[in-house]
Amino acid sequence: MADSVTIVEVGPRDGLQNEKAGIATADKLALIGRLADAGLSRIETTAFVSPRWVPEMADHEAVMRGVDRRPGVTYSALVPNEKGAEAALAAGAQALAVFTAASESFCRTNTNCSIAESIERFRPVMALASRAGVPVRGYVSCALDCPYEGEIAPEAVAAVTAELLALGCNEIALSDTLGRGTPERTAAMVEAALQRAPATMLAGHFHDTSGRAIANVAAAWELGLRVFDGSVGGLGGCPYAPGAAGNLATERLVAHFEAKGIATGIDRACLEATAEWITGRRAASTG
């Protein structure tokens, strides 16, 4: 295979955070183990956020401490602020992720602060991460559309990308939170972000609400992105973005790249069995 791609598995966090019925901690840990068995080298394990706002992540400490660590696998946690970062690092997180948006309305709804204020909240997180020697990913939500403001200008995404880069983020995930994006608009957004950050520091996070996630991945790939997010079984969505259900299934992402002769390092059969298993566990929890 002539080229390779890194796939970041966000199912245990972004996939499960929106579940109405509780998924047992033991099942979450089993899912993470199965994903590692399938060859996923980066797994976003949980979110150290308030259980009041995201009840499904209430067991974040038990999940992070309970993970069966594997050589070559990085287990990360989403954190909203310094308190969350401290707790995540104490529980053994090997990488952190922070989140803001390219939309002021979405940022205020999701984090109760402006984009500028969210960046300020991340400064102590970055200091903690630096002392701990762990990388930090920055998410830019609503990189294409906002449920309140509609289409987002590429320049707005570029501006937030530059802020996160200056802050010290090791990677910036450009996120089509609503899944309404088209390849043409994706290309324009990525091109704008590339004016502020190299392709090696950008990742693509595309929801599949409108069925165009793979086409948007292909557009971003053509512009040099080599890191993409997937959620096993297509689980999840953003609880603060109406209509955002439907993360891009990791198994579809793997199939897409394999068909093009691009190495993923993932056992597709094992991954598909994992998708079937977690879908069954989810059905059992809601039944």
Write down the catalytic residue from 107, 146, 169, 238: 238
For residue 123, give the H/E element and its range.
helix 115-132
Domain residue extents for the chain: 3-98+120-138+170-175+199-286
Please give the model's pTM, rounded to 2 decimal places.
0.95
Query: Which residue bears the tokens 């991945």?
Result: 217
Q: Note if 169 is an active site residue.
A: no
Q: And the tokens for 260?
A: 């093009």
- At residue 2, the pLDDT reads 53
Number of H helices and E strands in the chain, helices first, is 10, 12
- At residue 226, the pLDDT reads 98
CA 177 vs. chain centroid, Å, equals 10
Closest CA to 234 of 263, 258, 206: 206
- Give 93's strand partners: none
Per the CATH hierarchy, to which homologous superfamily does domain 3-98+120-138+170-175+199-286 belong? Aldolase class I (3.20.20.70)
For residue 66, give the H/E element and its range.
helix 60-66
pLDDT means per 10 residues, the chain with 287 residues, are 86 87 91 98 97 92 97 97 97 98 93 93 97 98 95 98 98 96 98 98 95 97 98 74 71 97 97 93 68
- At residue 246, the pLDDT reads 76
